[in-house]
A and B are shown apart, each in its own frame.
Chain A
C-alpha cells in the first residue's frame, strides 16, 4: 500500500516477528516445552515401531510427523500470547495492516519451526541411525526452508481463525492437518532422497521441493489475503 503513509508491510512484519521471538526468548516455552515435546515424540515413535530396520526406513516421515505435531503446539502458543491480553485486537485497532500481522506471525513461527526441524533431524541421526551425506546438503536446506514456509503459512492462517474462540484447541488440528498433508508427503519424500532412504537418490528429491515451493507460495498469498477478513470482527 504505497498510498498509505506509514511503515511498509515488511517492516511491520519484521517488527511483529521480532516481538514474537523476543517473547519466546524470555518465556523459554519453545526451549523448555516444545523442543522436549518433539524429542519425546521421536522416542515414543521408537517404542511403537520396535525394529531398527523399520525405524531406519521411516525416519524421514517420523521427523516430519513430529514437526506437524509440534507445529500445532507452536501455533496455539503463537496466538495464545496475542489473545490473552487482547493484543491482536489492539494491533488491529492501531491500524496495522492484517497482512503485516500475518506475515510477521508466520515469520516468527517459521524461525522456530526451522530450529525445531534441525533438532529433529539431529535426533534422527542419533536415535534412528541416519547419516546425512555431504552432497545432499543443498537439497536438505531447500526442503527445510520451503516446507517451513508452507507450514507456517497454513499454521498462522488457521491459528488466527481459531484464536479467541472456545474449542479452538480441537478445531486447529482438524483444519490444519488435512491442509498440510501435501507438505508431509513432499517433505518426507525429499528428505528420503536426501538421506538415501531405501535406495533413493538425491535427484529424486527436487520435484518434491517444487511441490513444496508451489504450496508455500499458494498459501502465503492466499493466507495474507484471507487473514484480514478472518480476524477482523
Chain B
C-alpha cells in the first residue's frame, strides 16, 4: 500500500513501540536452539538408529516426518479454530487472537503440504503410485485447499478488524466443513493404512526404537511449530503496526519533502495533479 522510504522517515514505528529490531527474544532463541537439537536427533534416529521395517523396508523412515507433520497440522488448525472463537466471542476483541489464528493456520498449511508431499513419495515406494483416492488422502488434500482459502480470505484487505472478523468466521466454518468432507469421502471409499498409534484398542503395535524415533519427530516438529508461530505472530503485529502508522509517516515524509522543495525553488508544495 504505502511505501515508506527508510531514509526519509525520521522515526521507526516498530522500534518505537517494541523497543527491538527483530522478533527474537530470549524465549524464542531457546526454543529455536531446542528445535535445531531436536531436528538433529530426528535425523540421527530416523535415518540412523531406527531399524528398517520388515514390509516397508527403508521407506518407513519417511513416516517419521509424515506422521508428526500431520499431527502438528491438526493441532495448528485446532489452535486456529479456538483462537477464532476467542476473537469472536470475547468482549475485548483482541487482535492478538486473530494473529495467533492466522500464524497457526499458515504453519499448519505448510505442514499439511509437507505431509502430502512426503506421503506421495512414501506411496510411490510402498503402493507403487503417488496418489490413491482413499478417504484420508482425499480429506487431507481438501483440508489443505480449505486452509489455502482461509489464508486467501485473510489477504482480502480492509481494516484489521474486518480481516479479523471475516477470517474468524471462515476459521470456524472450516470446523464445520472438515468433518462433513471427511464423512462423505469415507463413505465414498477407504483404503488407507489404519492408524497404528492412535487406534482405539490402546495398544501400540510398533517396534520400540521406531516408536521412539516417531516420538522424537513429534517433539521436533512441535518445537518448530511453536517457534514459527511465535515469530509469525510478532511479524504480523509489526505489519499491522506498519499499516496503522504507515499512512501518517507517508504524509509526514511528503510534507517535509514539499517543505524542502519550496525552500529550494521558492515554489509552493507540488499539487497532486501537477503534471501539466
Where the two chains meet, the residues of A that have a C-beta atom closer than 8 Å to any C-beta of B are 157, 161, 165-167, 171, 174-175, 177-179, 181-182, 185-186, 189, 207-208, 211, 214-215, 218-219, 222, 226, 229-230, 233
Contacts and interface: CB of A to CB of B under 8 A. Distances in A.
B99 to A, nearest CB: 18
B30 interface: no
A230 B166 contact: yes
Interface string B227-245: 0000000000000000000
A226 B172 contact: yes
15 contacts: A161-B153, A171-B156, A175-B149, A175-B153, A175-B170, A178-B142, A178-B146, A179-B177, A181-B181, A186-B187, A218-B180, A222-B173, A229-B166, A230-B169, A233-B158
A167 B154 CA distance: 13
A157 B176 CA distance: 13
Contact of A214 (B149, B152, B180): B180
> Sorted from nearest, which 3 A-B pairs have the closest CB atoms?
A182-B184, A175-B149, A178-B145
B184 A186 contact: yes
A208 B188 CA distance: 10
B157 interface: yes
Contact of B173 (A186, A189, A226, A233): A226
Contacts of B196: none
A218 B153 contact: no
Given A174-B148, A175-B170, A211-B183, 11 more contacts: A171-B153, A171-B156, A178-B181, A181-B181, A182-B181, A185-B184, A207-B187, A218-B180, A222-B176, A230-B166, A233-B158
B145 A174 contact: yes
A229 B156 CA distance: 15
Contact of B165 (A166, A211, A215, A229): A229
A189 B187 CA distance: 10
Interface residues of B, number: 28
Contacts of B188: 185, 189
B253 interface: no
Contacts of B148: 174
A179 B183 contact: no
Contacts of B177: 178-179
Nearest to B155: A167
A175 to B, nearest CB: 5
A222 B177 CA distance: 10
Nearest to A173: B149
A231 to B, nearest CB: 10
- Most chain-B Cβ atoms within 10 A of its Cβ — which of A182, A207, A226? A182
B201 to A, nearest CB: 28
Contacts of B183: 182, 211
B224 interface: no
Contacts of A214: 180
B2 interface: no
A178 B158 contact: no
- Most chain-A Cβ atoms within 10 A of its Cβ — which of B142, B172, B187? B187
A213 B264 CA distance: 74
A230 B153 CA distance: 11
Contacts of B261: none
Nearest to B146: A178
B166 A179 contact: no
B137 interface: no
B166 A161 contact: yes
A165 B184 contact: no
Contacts of A229: 88, 165-166, 168-169
Contacts of A182: 180-181, 183-185
